[in-house]
Amino acid sequence: MSRLLFPDDFLWGAATASYQIEGSPSADGKGESIWDRFSHTRGNIWNEENGDLACDHYRLYREDVRRMADLGLNAYRFSISWPRIFPQGGGKPNPEGLDFYRRLVEELHSCKIRPAVTLYHWDLPQALQDRGGWANRDTAQYFGEYAAFVFENLDLPVERWITLNEPWVSAFLGYGLGVHAPGINDFNIALQAAHNLLLGHGLAVSSFRDIERGNEPIGITLNLAPVHPASDSKADLAQAERADGFMNRWFLDPLFRGSYPQDMVELFLRSFDFAPAQEEDAGVIAAPIDFLGVNNYTRTVVRAGGSEDDFMGNPINPPGSEYTEMGWEVYPRGIYELLTRLHRDYGPLPLYITENGAAFNDELNRDGTVDDRQRISYLEGYLAEAWNALQEGVPLKGYFVWTLLDNFEWSFGYSKRFGLIYVDYPTQKRYFKNSAYWYRDVISRNGLEV
């Protein structure tokens, strides 16, 4: 048996997002978000479910923080719901909305759990969507103003700030494929949204630098995955390069190199009504940040599609692999490939794994136990590969399991359980799964025994 120990100051956390756990959609002056609207529109969500109650965390947050402390977490990543703070997106702020997060942060501090606060995890105020949402450049400005308000008024230590969660998903699933809120199906609009999200990120970073918050670091979280060709054929290799351009480089390059990747710009110019970005935006978007948050679950394997302008290709599921309930391949080596590549191509920059985890078909036994050994093996495999990346000099600073509690998995409703903690939704009772106990041991040993 060998011990894979992590650095002494390593962060061991779990992550959640406001709409997925909070419930209380109109409490204390909260405005409507695009996810309130989208989930209440028939046909969008599995079983017509919505986040009205979710894990009732808005009311049960104290108990939930107590459970985090029981697990020994030293960090917790959560997101702020923008329409709780600005019910109309901009204009008059709602102090009661911010008070909830102040109480949450206080509670975390009292348990020695360091908060990592995400400002945007997809719940855009509906009032802004009514004016075009992220397709409208003004939304970036509003986001910068909302961020500045939080930086100035959340007057408690926040050890890490994250501007956006997975802008790729917001733009391309929300505005390109329409499977996420706001449900728009137009790739031209999605490209616009992607750009305005990046601009909003840059504006938030710039207001952060103008506000005195000590040495608190700020970064962004991207969903990233290694892309592999289905074969060594020239066509598959070229396809993998394009898919990587679309899924990874489209966000990494403007953030860390100051421009969109040229190969993809040319491709999008040929295929879409895509206007190259305003020159001055590039500098705003590439404003230096203090870390990159990485969300990784799987890899993508692609076979060449129909044309040389196909940027998605045909994803395949390699035979013989294990798959989670989401249909995602379990591929632990991918996190090593990703972290070392990010360090090589975009570093040096502190990295955090801000999400990693798996949905499986968990069953609550009569005695209150949940034997989720597949999740334990998934997490162990990914953590061991993260440790391998650390041995190669990758500055990995922390790891956040997705997710603390089973919760509302977007268009899949409550049908996918990712949590360390099982939530029995009708009673709102929580039960530690075996993976929660396993994670508690990993944290107390500061590493793995494999």
Distance CA 192, CA 198 (A): 10
What radius of gyration, in Å, describes the C-alpha atoms of the chain?
21
Q: Rule CB under 6 A: which of 206-245 touch ligand IFM? A: none
Nearer to ligand IFM, 167 or 245 (CB): 167
CA-to-CA dists, residue 270 to 244, 261, 274, 298, 304, angstroms: 18, 15, 9, 30, 19
Q: x/- contact string, 148-187, with ligand IFM (CB under 6 A)?
A: ------------------x---------------------
Residue 95 CB contacts under 8 Å (≥ 6 apart), including other chains: none
Residue 448 structure tokens = 């793995």
Burial per residue of 369-395, b for 16 or more beta-carbon CB atoms within 10 angstroms, e otherwise: ebebebbbbbbbbbbbbbbbbbeeebb
Q: Is 33 a binder of ligand IFM (CB under 6 A)?
A: no
Nearer to ligand IFM, 239 or 295 (CB): 295
Q: Is 17 a binder of ligand IFM (CB under 6 A)?
A: yes
Q: Is 362 a binder of ligand IFM (CB under 6 A)?
A: no
Distance CA 172, CA 187 (A): 7
Nearer to ligand IFM, 164 or 203 (CB): 164
* Total site size for ligand IFM, rule CB under 6 A: 7
According to DSSP H, which parts of 260-403 are helical?
A: 262-271, 279-285, 333-346, 373-391
In angstroms, what is the minimal distance from the CB of 288 to ligand IFM? 25
Of 337, 355, 380, 409, catalytic: 355
Query: Is residue 193 within a helix (H) or strand (E), and if so which, with residue range?
Result: helix 187-210
CA-to-CA dists, residue 193 to 82, 170, 182, 202, 380, angstroms: 17, 8, 11, 14, 36
In angstroms, what is the minimal distance from the CB of 121 to ligand IFM? 6
Nearer to ligand IFM, 129 or 324 (CB): 324
Residue 295 structure tokens = 């969300």
Q: In what order do the strands lie in the sheet with 227-229?
A: 227-229, 300-303, 314-315
In angstroms, what is the minimal distance from the CB of 20 to ligand IFM? 6
Q: Is 295 a binder of ligand IFM (CB under 6 A)?
A: yes
In angstroms, what is the minimal distance from the CB of 402 to ligand IFM? 5
Distance CA 38, CA 411 (A): 9
In angstroms, what is the minimal distance from the CB of 15 to ligand IFM? 8
Find the binder of ligand IFM among 56, 107, 236, 355 (CB under 6 A): 355
In angstroms, what is the minimal distance from the CB of 407 to ligand IFM? 7
Stated length of the chain: 450
Nearer to ligand IFM, 385 or 409 (CB): 409
According to DSSP H, which parts of 292-433 are helical?
A: 333-346, 373-391
Nearer to ligand IFM, 20 or 24 (CB): 20
Residue 117 φ/ψ, nearest 5 degrees: -105, 125
Of 49, 166, 337, 385, catalytic: 166
Find the binder of ligand IFM among 22, 64, 329, 409 (CB under 6 A): 409
Find the binder of ligand IFM among 402, 422, 438, 439 (CB under 6 A): 402
> Is residue 355 annotated as a catalytic residue, yes or no?
yes
CB 75 within 8 A of CB 116: yes
CA-to-CA dists, residue 102 to 85, 97, 111, 151, angstroms: 12, 9, 14, 12
Could you identify the residue written with the tokens 């009292």? 110
Distance CA 96, CA 105 (A): 14
Nearer to ligand IFM, 261 or 398 (CB): 398
In angstroms, what is the minimal distance from the CB of 357 to ligand IFM? 7
Q: Is 268 a binder of ligand IFM (CB under 6 A)?
A: no
Residue 149 structure tokens = 């308000």
Nearer to ligand IFM, 169 or 199 (CB): 169
Distance CA 380, CA 364 (A): 22
In angstroms, what is the minimal distance from the CB of 333 to ligand IFM? 20
In angstroms, what is the minimal distance from the CB of 410 to ligand IFM? 6
> Is residue 166 annotated as a catalytic residue, yes or no?
yes
Residue 151 CB contacts under 8 Å (≥ 6 apart), including other chains: 161, 207, 208, 211, 213
Nearer to ligand IFM, 17 or 220 (CB): 17
Closest residue to ligand IFM in the complex (CB) = 17
Binding site for ligand IFM (CB under 6 A): 17, 20, 166, 295, 355, 402, 409
Q: Give the catalytic positions in this structure.
A: 166, 355
